Structure 1
């Protein structure tokens, strides 16, 4: 096993203490570049989930009345510590998840920014005072923390998906039980240690990794003291969690699957569109809910766009993420790579052509090369299913109406991208796209200062921006009768 530093804990974190799980069992964390065991982590059980809920509930009252400035200063210190330890955190993330060091460093910066952003939002929780229309009373509206929260994070962005939830919860005055992804628990456990160092009180954040999500989630949601759940993951799992929250009417934030269209109009700057396409497709090896999944290109520029995108993707170097100069690391596991292989094969069988990539390399590791598929037919599964890998399927459209029809032909609605020089078209198409976010002449939309989230089967609720903290606040109205 790879030697980890003292700041890379592998136990559960409950009520400010590191401990083994109730069963004493541990599970392996696999390096996807080598298929070797990186470390072993304590395997949380139902009893551990109940202990974490108890700790969060016990800490809630005192944490809720902690001065907002104090909560903000804790977040500010955490941002500073993450910034100082960026290389260490990035290396750990690359080892357990596979992305390149460049990608991991970018994620550490992005993740830390949520702490800085919400450190500033902590002191800006607004209310209002107004005279009642009758004149006899006064209306006082305040915001209060919703209470203990259950946070469930995915494997693809092990730090950022945590800080995007933890940051606003801390700022609002909520305690937390966090279940990290089984495939990538190490980054979140290290973040818990860092937050303790930053001054977060015992019991405010509790982290319980486990080989069974239901073993942790079910008992937590059965406890009425948990008042909110925030989940990032698949739509299939999200729907089941919505049902579980119904029993105690817990509030929910659901950031679910995507099937992002990338539209290139005939008047687009093709060089800029290719650059944006690589950014939108290849971030995190394509294993991102906001990755461009379908490339719809105007017929007059389709051949040129395909040729240039093929050349750009072919230049990307694939290899172990820890090697400098590598742009594309391995996929997370063999199952994910098999899914990519299956979707590419289906598209080729249906008539598509792989202009670069398309074949699994020999050797260890779950690698798959950057791939471009040209002339993808409408019946190919890859246009309907989220590939979650480094594959760019290209199809064409005739006019704006056709582009919008193809872009909207999905049950998902997280993000869309479009390239055009026509500002009228940009606004018109951007407003018409049935998605929660739109990137106009840019391949990157994620921004801690902006609301992240989707519509339709991509979920509901927003993370980041001034909207992000509202997900962790209840509104209270008090009517004052004056004598």
Structure 2
């Protein structure tokens, strides 16, 4: 198998400065930092390295724009989102190239993410005009009760590197629809997609100051400065549970509204009556989407003893067919995002093998530049292996055998995390019973992807709180005001 690490496409033109108050500007200190191609380590571009001073300027712009934006008719806000959806769709090839170059996923996967990202703008363009309140009579009949929904106010969004566009539109879409302004801090590894999105939204007619984008390597300093500012009213973060806990603590000083979409440790349950071929198809989606670098990725495979050998053999065969290489070369599997991610994957695989797991395929990084790791299947993984407790964030499928339904459910729930689970069975009764017992915010029944802009995305336990997408998504950006009306003399 050959590995082509060289890009087959040049980087399209991308903004390289901060987007603040409707203008591109350099960082106050004049600093920049490099954005690298994880397939070969080459530098793609240099972007502005924002300071705390720049972060305050971005919040100033958001605060200045908030009142007028909140007063903008919902239909107008929705039409801007609709135009944003159309512009993203029109520019899918350039956006996909940028995403593949800065993050590593294949072009096909980048296109799929961009389509998914655009759908949040289309969905929330329609939700913008569906924000309603209520009117009622007090129980004693002496008055009336009026409730109204109003925008929370200026928001801070901290987005991750693994889905550099979709994790932005999933927050930006409902904020725009609700009438909130925002400051977005994209991951330093993948800032280019978000800078392009700022350019697109400006073209779509979003007023100056509603969206502000600050790129920086000094994430703690920049975010910390904004969280200490009493003018900020909401924080939404997607990332690790460890960082999420720290941000929640920091947000408490100003009692911010907080949404947290944190880590996952998704179980993938295959029962004896499952259609094994469909289960393998689902496993390929749930595990290999985004090179396994997804909080929703299947992390632990619990397979009934009656079908475990067939499932393992078929999954191993499918993994062996995957081609590694640069995402623009037509390869199925690109690199991991950086060396530390690749090294953690290797460490977890090594631990599982040392404890008795059997590597059926893969099990090692690829020599040479870039951060490639071979797609790996490990059978007979023991209960004490770290890979069953820690989020692997890579192309590794550890398989554990079970005999009884209760055993599988107990093992699936034996984690502090609770984002997603996958269940494969032909038995409807079992499907509903197991789904109800699983301690996760989302369950995929006989399918390997759960994400949908029209559905509420989010977890429970240490996987966070709040929901993104669906009818619930806009509620994260609205406050409820109650007005007591006196009636009669």
How far off its partner does 1:398 sit? 1.0
* Matching residue of 2:169: 163
* Matching residue of 1:450: 455
* Matching residue of 1:309: 315
Give the whole-Å Cα distance in 1 for the aligned partners of 2:80 and 2:332.
34
Q: Does 1:474 align with 2:470?
A: no
* Matching residue of 1:71: 77
1:334 to 327, 332, 339: 339
Give the whole-Å Cα distance in 1 for the aligned partners of 2:17 and 2:467.
31
Deviation readout 1:251-300 (Å, 9 max, x if unpaired): 00000000000000000000000000010000100000000000000011
* Matching residue of 1:362: 367
Q: Does 1:153 align with 2:180?
A: no
* Matching residue of 2:326: 320
Moved more, 250-259 or 350-359: 350-359
* Matching residue of 1:204: 210
Describe how 1:372-451 pairs up with structure 2 within 5 A. Answer: 372-451=377-456
Deviation readout 1:134-183 (Å, 9 max, x if unpaired): 11211111100000000000000000000000000000000000100010
Q: Does 1:236 align with 2:242?
A: yes
Give the whole-Å Cα distance in 2 for the aligned partners of 1:433 and 1:362.
40
Give the whole-Å Cα distance in 2 for the aligned partners of 1:336 and 1:361.
14
Give the whole-Å Cα distance in 2 for the aligned partners of 1:343 and 1:427.
33
Aligned to 1:300, what secondary structure does the other structure show? coil
Give the whole-Å Cα distance in 2 for the aligned partners of 1:268 and 1:3.
45
Give the whole-Å Cα distance in 1 for the aligned partners of 2:366 and 2:239.
28
Aligned to 1:226, what secondary structure does the other structure show? coil
2:63 to 49, 53, 57: 57
* Matching residue of 2:193: 187
Tell me the TM-score normalized by structure 2. Answer: 0.97
Q: Which runs of 5+ in 1 are unaligned?
A: none
Aligned 8 A contact 2:11 2:101 in 1? no
* Matching residue of 1:27: 33
* Matching residue of 1:83: 89
How far off its partner does 1:466 sit? 0.2
Aligned to 2:102, what secondary structure does the other structure show? helix
Aligned 8 A contact 2:12 2:98 in 1? no
Distance 1:102 1:5, change over 3 A: closer
Q: Does 1:144 align with 2:140?
A: no
* Matching residue of 1:173: 179
How far off its partner does 1:3 sit? 5.5
How far off its partner does 1:133 sit? 1.4
Give the whole-Å Cα distance in 2 for the aligned partners of 1:3 and 1:274.
36
Q: Does 1:39 align with 2:49?
A: no
Q: Does 1:124 align with 2:130?
A: yes
Q: For the aligned residues, what is the CA RMSD?
A: 0.9
Q: Does 1:266 align with 2:272?
A: yes
How far off its partner does 1:216 sit? 1.4
Question: Which stretches of structure 1, 4 residues or more, deviate above 2 A after TM superposition?
Answer: 1-6
* Count of equivalent residues: 481
Give the whole-Å Cα distance in 1 for the aligned partners of 2:225 and 2:66.
19
Q: Which runs of 5+ in 2 are unaligned?
A: 1-6
* Matching residue of 2:228: 222
Aligned to 1:428, what secondary structure does the other structure show? helix
